[in-house]
Amino acid sequence: MEFEFSENRVKFGRELSNLDRRVIKFAGILDRLEIEYVIVSGYIAILFGRSRNTENVDLFVEEMRFEKT
φ, ψ of residue 41 in degrees (nearest 5)? 70, -140
Higher pLDDT, 12 or 36: 36
- 6 assigned to some structural domain: no
Q: Determine, yes or no, domain membership for 58.
A: yes
| Residue range(s) defining the domain that contains residue 27 | 16-69
Question: Considering the domain boundaries, does residue 67 fall inside one?
Answer: yes
Do 24 and 43 meet the contact criterion of CB atoms below 8 Å apart? no
Residue 51 maps to a domain: yes
pLDDT of residue 47: 78
5: in domain: no
Q: Are 27 and 57 in contact (CB under 8 A)?
A: no
CA pair distance 5, 8, nearest whole angstrom: 8
Helix (H) or strand (E) holding 22: helix 18-32
Would you say the pTM of this structure is higher than 0.75?
A: no
In a domain, 39, yes or no: yes
Classify residue 2: in a domain, yes or no: no
Structural domain total, the chain: 1
Residue 1 banded pLDDT, cuts 50, 70, 90: low
- Residue 35 has a pLDDT of 93
Q: Is the pLDDT of residue 36 over 70?
A: yes
